[in-house]
A and B are shown apart, each in its own frame.
Chain A
Amino acid sequence: AQSVTQLGSHVSVSEGALVLLRCNYSSSVPPYLFWYVQYPNQGLQLLLKYTTGATLVKGINGFEAEFKKSETSFHLTKPSAHMSDAAEYFCAVKGGGGRRALTFGSGTRLQVQP
C-alpha cells in the first residue's frame, strides 16, 4: 500500500524567500510522485510529476522537486516566493499495479507574507 506524509499543515514565508514543502512517501513499488496545487475554491492543478529518469523535476511557476529514493522524499521547492503562490499544495503517489488512482497527502497551506 502507498502512503504520503506532508510535514507541516501550514507554512508561512516572506515574499522573495525560499519555499520548501516537505513530502515523504511509502510505496511497495517504484513510485510515481506528483505535486498538485489548489487555489481557493478551485480544483487541483498539476505542478510537476516524477515517473522515471531524472530525479530533479521542474514544474510550472518556477517550482521544482527532487526525488530521493534513499530518503523516500519528494520535497517541493521554489527559490523565491511570490504572493500568487499562496495556495494549498498536495503531494501524491500513484497506486501500485494497474491501479491508476492517486494517494494524497493531507496538504500544506502556503501563506506568503508581503
Chain B
Amino acid sequence: NAGVTQTPKFQVLKTGQSMTLQCAQDMNHNSMYWYRQDPGMGLRLIYYSASEGTTDKGEVPNGYNVSRLNKREFSLRLESAAPSQTSVYFCASSSGRGYTYNEQFFGPGTRLTVL
C-alpha cells in the first residue's frame, strides 16, 4: 500500500516548455486534489476532482489543466511553463461521498523550477 505517489520528484523546465505531473493513489479514494506550496503562503488549491470524471477549479487554476484519468490517477499539466509556476506541487486524496469528509492524504511532492 503505497498511498499517494507523485512523479517526478524534481523537474527543471525552461519558460514555455510543457510537462505533466503524475499522481496516483491506491486507497480507492473518490476525491483527489492538486495544491501548490510557496514560501509564506501555505498550500493553495489548483484543481480538485470530487469523483472520477469530474474536475473543478480551485483558488489558483490559471496556467494549469488537469485530467482525472480513472479513479486512481489525477494528472496536472502545465502547457506553457512560466517562472511564476516555480513551486512545490502536492497531490492529495480523500475518501467520503456527499457531505461526509475524511482526511486528505498527501503525496511527497514535486519540486518544479521554471527558468
* Chain A residues packing against B (C-beta within 8 Å): 4, 6, 9, 32, 34, 36, 41-46, 49, 51, 90, 92, 94, 98, 100-107
Using C-beta atoms within 8 Å of the partner chain, give the interface range for chain B: 20 to 34
Q: Give the residue of B41, B90, B99 whose beta carbon is less than 8 angstroms from that of A44.
A: B90
Most buried by B among A6, A102, A103: A102
> What is the bound-complex CA distance between A56 and B90, given in angstroms?
29
In the complex, the answer to whether A102 meets B104 with C-beta atoms within 8 Å is: yes
Given contacts A43-B106, A51-B101, A94-B101, contact A106 B42 (CB under 8 A): yes
* Number of A-B residue pairs with CB-CB distance less than 8 Å in the complex they form: 55
B103→A49 contact, CB < 8 A: yes
A51 and B44 CA atoms in complex are apart in Å by 22
Contacts of A49 in B (CB 8 A): 103
A58 to B44, CA, bound (A): 26
Interface centre among B42, B104, B108 (most CB of A within 10 A): B42
Bound-complex Cα distance A36 to B58 (A): 20
Contact B108 A104 (CB under 8 A): no
- If the complex has contacts A9-B40, A44-B106, are A101 and B33 also in contact, measured as CB distance less than 8 A? yes
Given contacts A43-B109, A101-B33, A34 and B103 within 8 Å (CB-CB): yes
CB of B35 to closest CB in A, whole Å: 8
B31-55, CB < 8 A from A: 31, 33, 35, 40-45, 48, 50
